[in-house]
Amino acid sequence: MAAPSGQPQERLKKVNSICGMCTVRCPIEVHVKDGEAVYIQGSPHHPAMNGSLCPRGGAGLALLHDNERPQGPLIREGKRGEGRWRRATWEEAYTHIADKLTEIVTHYGGRSILYTNRGGPWQDIQKAFVRGLGSPNYTNHDASCARNVMHAAKSFMGMGRKDVTYDLKNAKHVVLQTRNMFEAINVSEVNNLISSLNNGGKLTVIDVRATISASKANNFFLVRPGSDYAFNLALIHTLIKKDLYHKNYVKRIFKDFDKLAAFVEPYSPDWAESETGIPAGRVESLAGQLAEAAPAVIWHPGWHQARYLNSFYVCRTAYIINGLLGSIGAKGGLAITNKAKDVGRKGLKSFVDLLPAPEDQRADGLGWKYKHFDAGPGLLQLQLKAIETEEPYPVKAYICYRHDPLMAMPDPEKIKKILDKLDLLVSITFTWSETANYADVVLPLSTYLERESTLAHKGGLKPYFFVRQRAVQPRFDSKAPWEIYTDLARHLNIEPLARFRSIEEMWAYQLEGTGVEIADFEAKGMVSLTDKPKYRTLDELKFPTPSGKLEVISEKWEKAGLPSLLPYQPLQAPPEGQYRITFGRCALHTQGHTVNNPLLSEVMGENELWINRNEAARLGIGDGEYVEVSNNGQAGQRIKAKVTEAIHPECVFMLHGFGHRLKMESRAFGKGAADQELMIGGLEKWDPAGGAMALQEHFVTVRKLEG
């Protein structure tokens, strides 16, 4: 409808940007009218998005207008965790941080500073900043997420988990083992998987509960918690014993296949039946289905695999199964990820290269004590141990960027005692969190709609560069990450970063020599580096291992005293009257940082405790009744029961991210339960082969609450 005569016409523009509601970071299109964001959709320019967006992405406007997020820099006045703050200017906050860091570095050296984040495509500027501080202790959240997957990939393929691309659209059979793809939503992956299923592809789900993904599966295996390794060994046994593996591929690409065959000889489906609860015939049938679809098969090694003490070997056997089926490198399988150089293009210039690498060893021991681990993102549980013990040296400052270890890691009360040994704790965040509330300084990030970011590269079959554009101006006194790091660099005299005064200067630096200009991003928000997807032929496959092949026996792991093929041992069963605590994701929330979202909290305001119907009946618990869940009487929490047949009787399940304790988060305060609080002693439970936490090696009791 046209505006009445004499009144100004509303102006609508479309801004290509990147979502920030979860770690997937989907490309989006933001509709802006007279300076206000009014609508968000998935990018219409991305072939796997087609304008679609998940519920979290749709709630981005609610985040933008949330008045309960930090609105300006804050400096703590009371004790840590008391919630007493002084509003500060940015100059005051920067000066406070710079003075404290300078004092700490003077006494202990740059190595005494720890930095953690949630990973992602914009780590380059952050790594450069940490280098500028003189610290080797750049670390991300992956110890509580995908470190086991990464190290399993490294130990077998010699390359990381992101060096293969899941070619879901062309897959003929996809196996999701603990990977709940239809709830932990990556929109591109979901759309591509749906395309596969619509074209006759099959889906198999292996999990301890019936998820949304399981409801769409051709095969669903409700396995005993912690028995996935037994399931995988039986599947490998069947592929080899029944000659269902890809013989030509294995002959040319595998090293030590004979040792694998000998190792799995005792692990038959009949043997596994008593471990997993899955009939032997079903495992044999699955092996036949996979062989029929090979090599266009994806056995997903998982994403969040910080689960059990043998999860590294679950992931490793998943990669081995893919290899046996010839799917690593194949179309419709785990295709090799292409970077700019793989398609004849030059990549983005790195900010990290502007600064020398620190000479000190990492505090977590990676690279010198634990030589089999990838040192890049470190292991946070070992960094926390270094803070606690001051071995191998004191760590006295900690900067958390978009990271909440008090929710992401087990035993938060123990972590608080460790953090009390710090001289400085800084939280850089766009929402409140337990860690932000425990910090000395809070620096408020602008939400993703209010900020632009440095350019980033996305690898895949068709790699591309992409940009996040600022759609609207910040509502509060917040800043973009690049502003914070360059401002701090000026206060700390980190000259290579201090020289950048605008995002345009940073973009121009990154694009030097690439043949791409910033104007090229205007139409779509991304610049493709090739017109056609690139696959590797069998002759072109060469892996960055000592042999150039897929290595069943990893020399690096064996030298570390860790077997490449671990003889199966059952994990500890739940003690009498207890249940293994499991947790996961849903489509509506991203861990804890969306639970207080004004829109999403209305749709799902609290989590529930899934419990098997027979177990609930034994305890006198009805569906929807409130129960107390506790760890041997400790950390008792109130939560509503969801009574169902769709979960294994040996475990209970809750969505992660609930149980907030901060009154400034009025919508989330006191609602639901926090799984990490039930993991008492959990900082000591981690997988020495894979590095990740064993977050589902804890047991709880459940009792009905009266009244």
- For the segment 609-633, the average pLDDT, to the nearest whole number, is 97
CA distance 535 to 582: 38
Residues β-bridged to residue 630: 701
Over 603-672, what HEC string results? HCCCCEEEEEHHHHHHHCCCCCCEEEEEECCEEEEEEEEEEECCECCCEEEEECCCCECCCCCCCCECCC
Rounded Cα gap, residues 386 and 363, in angstroms: 6
Average pLDDT over residues 54-74: 97
- The predicted-structure confidence for 267-320, as pLDDT tens digits, reads as follows 999 999 999 999 999 999 999 999 999 999 999 999 899 999 999 999 999 999
Q: What is the distance between the alpha carbons of residues 377 and 138, in angstroms, rounded to a whole number? A: 6
CA distance 17 to 463: 17
Phi, psi (rounded to 5 degrees) for 510: -60, -35
Amino acid at 59: A
Compute the distance between CA of residue 153 and CA of residue 162 in angstroms, rounded to an integer: 9
Q: Name the residue with tokens 């207008």.
A: 65
Residue 321 has pLDDT above 70, yes or no: yes
Measure the CA–CA gap between 169 and 189, rounded to whole angstroms: 8
In tens, the pLDDT along 155-181 reads 999 999 999 999 999 999 999 999 999
What is the secondary structure of 265-327 as a DSSP string? TT--HHHHHHHH---HHHHHHHHHHHHHHTTSEEEE--S----STTHHHHHHHHHHHHHHTT-
| CB 582, CB 696: distance < 8 Å | yes
At residue 639, the 3 state secondary structure works out as strand
The CB-side HSE value for 373 (13 A sphere, CA atoms) comes to 26
Say what the pLDDT of residue 591 is. Answer: 85
Is the confidence at residue 229, as pLDDT, over 60? yes
Give the model's pLDDT for residue 376. 87
AA identity, residue 27: P
Cα–Cα distance for residue pair 680/328, rounded to 1 Å: 39
The residue among 107 and 633 whose pLDDT is bigger is 107
Contacts of 147 (CB under 8 A, 6+ apart): 306, 377, 379, 690, 691, 692
Which of 575, 605, 573 has its CA nearest to residue 588? 605
DSSP 504-538: HHHHHHHHTTTS--GGGGTTTSEEES-SS-----G
Copy the structure tokens of residue 173. Answer: 């059979």
pLDDT of residue 11: 83
The sign of the dihedral angle between the CA atoms of 348, 349, 351, 352 is positive
Instruction: Give dist(CA 279, CA 683) in Å, integer.
Output: 36
Task: Find tokens 């042999």 and name the residue.
Answer: 547
Is the confidence at residue 639, as pLDDT, over 50? yes
DSSP string over 172-241: SEEEEES--TTTS--HHHHHHHHHHHHTT-EEEEEESB--HHHHT-SEEEEPPTT-HHHHHHHHHHHHHH
C-alpha separations of 702 from 308, 571, 654, 656 in Å: 21, 21, 13, 18
| 256 pLDDT above the threshold of 90 | yes
Amino acid at 282: R
Q: How confident is the model at residue 609 (pLDDT cuts 50, 70, 90)?
A: very high
Q: Please enumerate in sequence order all residues whose Cβ is within 8 A of that of 491, keeping only pairs 6 or more positions apart, or say none.
A: 94, 95, 97, 98
**What are φ and ψ of residue 84, in 5° steps?**
-100, 120
CA pseudo-torsion sign 162, 164, 167, 173: negative
3-state secondary structure of 77: coil
Q: Is the pLDDT of residue 546 over 80?
A: yes
pLDDT band at 2 (very low <50, low <70, confident <90, very high): very low
**Around Cβ 590, how many Cβ atoms within 10 Å?**
23
Given a contact cutoff of 8 angstroms between Cβ atoms, the answer to whether 83 and 662 are in contact is yes
- What is the C-alpha to C-alpha distance for residues 136 and 362, in angstroms, rounded to an integer? 6
Looking at the chain, the whole-number percentage of residues with pLDDT higher than 70 is 98
Sheet (strand 464-466) strand order:
456-458, 464-466, 526-528
| Range 101-134 burial, b when 16+ CB lie within 10 A, else e | beebbeebbbbbbbbbbbbbbbbbbbbbbbbbbb
State the DSSP code for 92. Answer: H
The number of residues in the chain equals 707
Pair of tokens at residue 572: 């500890």
Residue 118 has pLDDT above 60, yes or no: yes
pLDDT of residue 7 exceeding 80, the answer is: no
- CA-only gyration radius of the chain, Å: 25
Give 688's pLDDT tier (boundaries 50, 70, 90): very high
Predicted confidence at residue 707, as pLDDT, reads: 67
Type of residue found at 408: A
Averaged pLDDT of the chain: 96
Dist CA 132 CA 497 (whole Å) = 8
pLDDT bin (cut points 50, 70, 90) of residue 4 is: very low
Q: What is the pLDDT of residue 10?
A: 63
Pairing of strands 74-76, 651-655: unpaired
What mean pLDDT comes out for the span 380-384? 98
Q: What are phi and psi of 55, to 5 degrees?
A: -60, -35
Three-state DSSP class for 502?
coil
Reported pTM: 0.96
pLDDT on residue 3: 38
Model pLDDT, residue 119: 86
Mean pLDDT over 227-248 rounds to 98
The CA distance from 194 to 185, in Å, is: 13
The yes-or-no verdict on residue 1 having pLDDT over 60 is no
| Contact status, residue 656 vs residue 591, Cβ threshold 8 Å | yes
Q: How far apart are CA 437 and CA 371, in angstroms?
A: 36
Query: How many percent of the chain have pLDDT more than 90?
Result: 95
Give the 3-state secondary structure of residue 126.
Answer: helix
Contact 461, 533 (CB under 8 A): yes
